[in-house]
């Protein structure tokens, strides 16, 4: 399928798809005229990439973990450790945001007219 078809099927922009390809997360073949052609399974691949991005993982981290997620034969305890590290990072951000929220709520209570 062409890039426009994949974009329509996934809701991702063509620019995002080109970025995923540039980052090594997605691959395509080129027609003689240079158009990108993606296999049908690219729809699931893009959905997975979007899910991982939505979970707060960087494209570099996704590049590292994607093979282990998509190919069970190479899945090792490293994947769980890496994902747990990312979860700990997000938990730290949540704690920091909660402290910031508590301070701001206190300021509102103290100074709001």
CATH number of the domain to which 43 belongs: 1.10.1660.10
Residue identified by tokens 């190479």 is 74
If asked whether residues 51 and 8 sit together in one domain, one would say yes
Q: How confident is the model at residue 113 (pLDDT cuts 50, 70, 90)?
A: confident
Residues 68 and 81 in one domain: no
Which parts of the chain fold into alpha helices (H)?
3-10, 14-22, 42-54, 59-70, 77-111
Range of 8's domain? 1-73
Q: How much of the chain, in percent, has pLDDT values that exceed 90? A: 94
The verdict on 32 and 80 lying in the same domain is no
* 62, 105: one domain: no
E-assigned strand segments in 3-79:
29-30, 36-37
For residues 52 and 104, membership in a common domain is answered with: no
4 plus 18 within the same structural domain: yes
CB atoms within 10 A of CB 70: 13
Pair 89, 102 in one domain = yes
- Considering the domain architecture, whether residues 83 and 105 belong to the same structural domain is answered as yes
The 10s digit of each residue's pLDDT in 34-46 is 999 999 999 999 9
Split into its structural domains, the chain has a count of 2
How do residues 47-62 score in pLDDT, each as one tens digit?
Answer: 999 999 999 999 999 9
Same domain, 37 and 80: no
Residue recorded with tokens 């997975």: 48
Tell me: do 8 and 60 sit in the same domain. Answer: yes
The length of the chain is 113
68 pLDDT band, cuts 50/70/90, is very high
Comparing CA positions, the residue from 40, 41, 38 lying closest to residue 18 is: 38
Average pLDDT over the chain reads 95
Q: Which residues, 6+ apart, have CB-to-CB distance to 54 below 8 Å?
A: none
Question: Do residues 94 and 81 share a domain?
Answer: yes
């Amino acid at each position: 399928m062409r890039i426009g078809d994949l974009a329509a099927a996934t809701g991702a922009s063509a620019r995002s798809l080109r970025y995923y390809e540039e980052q090594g997360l997605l691959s395509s073949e080129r027609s003689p005229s240079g158009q990108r052609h993606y296999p049908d399974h690219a729809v699931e691949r893009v959905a997975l990439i979007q899910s991982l991005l939505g979970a707060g993982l960087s494209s570099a981290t996704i590049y590292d973990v994607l093979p282990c997620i998509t190919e069970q034969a190479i899945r090792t305890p490293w994947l769980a450790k890496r994902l747990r590290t990312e979860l700990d990072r997000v938990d730290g951000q949540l704690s920091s945001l909660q402290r910031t929220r508590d301070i701001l709520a206190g300021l509102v209570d103290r100074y709001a007219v």
